[in-house]
Structures are given as structure tokens and as C-alpha cells.
Structure 1
Amino acid sequence: MRLSAFQKVLWGLAALAVAGFVWLQISFKTDPQAEATAFRVNFELTDHQGMVRTQDDFAGRWMLVFFGFSNCPDVCPTTLAEVAAVMDALGSDAAHVQPLFISIDPERDTPMELAKFVPHFNAGIIGLTGTSDQIKRTSETFRVYYEKIKEAAAPGGYTMGHSSQLSLFDPQGGYVGAWTYGTPAEEILSDLKARMSM
């Protein structure tokens, strides 16, 4: 069976994402001190209520960060549903965790669009967006990739290829680790609670 050009592009992007994720995980595990000091969050974006937000707004809380887009057909809503399950299971500890959904599609994901999207998950998720330049800088800070891909059947004639991991940052904004797409909420919850109790 021959693959179409579009399928080849998608497989290529998926391979790059997996390779980059594996490299990050290996690099952190080779140095125990690297987990917390590898990099720190740094951004200035607009939330789904129109307020400008930076990493300082979430100081003192753990952050669950996912990059995606509201027109995503599967990966994004599935991951955010897992985040919602984790937040619900945390009970009173949920006050110490802030989930963030950062759009990699600023062209379509305005604050107004995110205000329609993130409340569906009922987990206190804050949607963040910005200009193309702001999103580019933020993605570089968080070490995630994304790419616009033409697709005639999609809204606006395109879709987005992007990193699919859910990342965890400590209350000081330091990177702790990440879960690959498809990790069950129970496993994320167990890992997160173990981290929070250290």
C-alpha cells in the first residue's frame, strides 16, 4: 500500500516528536539533578478570559502543561479529559495544581474560541494563546514542536502537527518530567501525588 504525501508528512512528524521526547527523557535520566533544573517556564500569553498571564501568576503551584489546538480531533480532547480526571481525583490537593492548555494555533484559537473550548473539561484549565511570535517563543522555551499542515477538509483548510506529551512543572517553574500521549489518568495521578509528597 502506497502512502499519500500527506500520510508521509504525518508519519515523519510523528517520528520527530517521538525521537525528541525520547531524547529529553534520556537526557534527564542521565543526570538526577537535571530533572528540576533542565529548564524553567517562561511565557507571556493571553488567557481565555482576555487577561495577560506569565509564569509568575502560577508561582507556588504545580503546573500540568499541554500544547494543542481547539480544532484537534482526538489527541487534545483526550489528553484534556485525562487532565480533568486527574484534577477531580486530587480532591483538595487540586488547589495546588494548575492545568494549562497552550494553543499552537493562534490564527484560529483566539481567547474567545478558547473560552468556548476549555470549559468543556470542567477542570479549572486555563487556555492560553497569543501572537504567532509569542507562541513560537513559548514553544521554544517549553521545547515542543508544532507545524501547520494543509488539509482541505479541516476548518480553515489546515490542521496542526504537534508534540503530544503532558508536561509537569514544579512550584518553582522547573521542569519535572512528562507523560506520553495515552498515559492513563490513574498513572498520571499516582506519579503526580508521589512528586507532590516529596
Structure 2
Amino acid sequence: MNRQTMLRKIAPPIAALALLSACESAPPPEPPLAGAAIGDEFTLTGEDGTPVSWSDFDGQYRTLYFGYTYCPDVCPVDTQRAMAGLKAFEQDNPELGAQIQPLFISVDPARDTPDVLAEFTDNFHPRLIGMTGTKEQIDTVTDAFAAAYTIEEPNEAGGYLVGHTNITYLFGPDGNPLAMLPTDEGPVAVAAELEKWVR
């Protein structure tokens, strides 16, 4: 076998090896919200009436959604999709799924008492924790977490709607933001997004 023939035979395996090596050394992708100024320490009232702080979940991944239990459509749909996606992820990755703590903060503290929140969260996931507080506390937390809400004028019956940011955030074990969960695309997309960042 001459030198040229030998080079032709070994060139493809060497090229494949180089390509494999390049793939293996490629850095993992950066989370979309890496470095974003979202999040801060807080303490609110949990659905069992006891204080709940952001730092209580240090070392765990966290999902966080701002909404309210009297929401006629957006909040139940977003929460159902996020929690169905989490359940699917837990089923495929039990150990990793157990490291995710889902959280729901009410932007309607006048109506969302701890008991009301507990009834709401129990419909979606057994580990979902609802939180409430004074309007001043909620204003501080929404500001820190890049969320907003507006309480509309009551109707004749005294009911009212609350306009709010409908983003489900995913945070890492250090409390820093990682990504937004695509609840608009359904539970399968949510589970796929969790798969990318929860390791």
C-alpha cells in the first residue's frame, strides 16, 4: 500500500475524530436569562400562613409565576401547562424533578388569602406553594422580579380583574434567572425547556 492510498484510508477516521473532539469541547449554551437583573430576597406569607422566603429554596431550582386565583382564563391555563410540564419532567427525571420548587405569588392580596391560595395550588401540583402579602410587599417583589400588575376598577357587583405579567420564570439553585418557560406552547415544550437547564 503506497503512502497516498494509506492517507486516503485514514483521513476520514481522523476527520471524524477531530469533529467529535470539537463537539465534545464545545461549551454548553448560555441560559437565555443569564446575567439578567431579575430576583431578590423576599419574605411573604405562604398558603399555610407561615412566612416563606426566597432563600428558603437556596440550592433548589425554582419556577415562579405571578398571578391571582380569581383570574378567569390566563392564570389557570399558564399554571396548568407549567405544572403539567413539570410533572412530565419529574416522571422522566425523578431526581432532577425533585430539585425544582414551583412557586405562585398572588398579585391580588385583598382576595387571595392563604386558604384561597392553598385551594388553588392544590389543583395543579402537590408541591406548588402559593404566597401572598401586603400590597406594599407585592409591589416590592414584582419590581424585583421584572413583573407588573394593575388592579382594574371594580364592576357593579364588586368584582374586578387584575392585569399582570404572565411569565413563568425558571431560576437556578443560586437564585439567578435561567429561562422563561414556554407555557404558550404547552406542557411538552415546558418539559423540554426544563430538560435544557435542570441538571
TM exceeding 0.5: yes
Q: CA RMSD in A?
A: 1.9
- TM-score, normalising length: structure 1: 0.77
Moved more, 35-44 or 61-70: 35-44
- TM-score, normalising length: structure 2: 0.77
**C-alpha separation in 1, matches of 2:135 and 2:77:** 25
Say whether the 8 Å CA contact 2:183–2:189 is kept in structure 1.
Answer: no
Q: How far off is 1:163 after superposition?
A: 0.4
In structure 2, the gaps of 5 or more residues are: 1-29
Moved more, 95-104 or 41-50: 41-50
1:145 aligns with 2:143: no
Query: Match for residue 72 of structure 2?
Result: 73
**C-alpha separation in 2, matches of 1:88 and 1:128:** 21
Which of structure 1's runs of 4+ aligned residues deviate more than 4 A?
none
1:157 aligns with 2:159: yes
Identity %: 34
Say whether the 8 Å CA contact 1:84–1:123 is kept in structure 2.
Answer: no
Greater percentage in helix: 1
SS in 1 for 2:166: coil
Tell me the alpha carbon deviations over residues 114-143 of structure 1, each in whole angstroms, 9 at most, x when there is no partner: 122111113410001001110000000001
**C-alpha separation in 2, matches of 1:33 and 1:97:** 17
In structure 1, the gaps of 5 or more residues are: 1-31
Query: Match for residue 170 of structure 1?
Result: 172
Say whether the 8 Å CA contact 1:165–1:178 is kept in structure 2.
Answer: yes
**C-alpha separation in 2, matches of 1:122 and 1:153:** 34
Alignment match of 1:122 (pick from 99, 122, 125): 125
Q: How far off is 1:84 after superposition?
A: 2.1
Say whether the 8 Å CA contact 1:75–1:181 is kept in structure 2.
Answer: no
Query: Match for residue 15 of structure 1?
Result: none
Tell me the alpha carbon deviations over residues 102-123 of structure 1, each in whole angstroms, 9 at most, x when there is no partner: 0000111111211221111134
CA 112–82 in structure 1, closer or farther in 2 if over 3 Å, else same: same
**C-alpha separation in 1, matches of 2:150 and 2:55:** 28
User: 1:83 corresponds to which letter in structure 2?
Assistant: A
**C-alpha separation in 2, matches of 1:33 and 1:87:** 18
SS in 2 for 1:86: helix
What is the number of residues matched between the two proteins? 165
Alignment match of 2:115 (pick from 112, 135, 140): 112
Q: Which has the larger Rg?
A: 2
User: 1:35 corresponds to which letter in structure 2?
Assistant: L
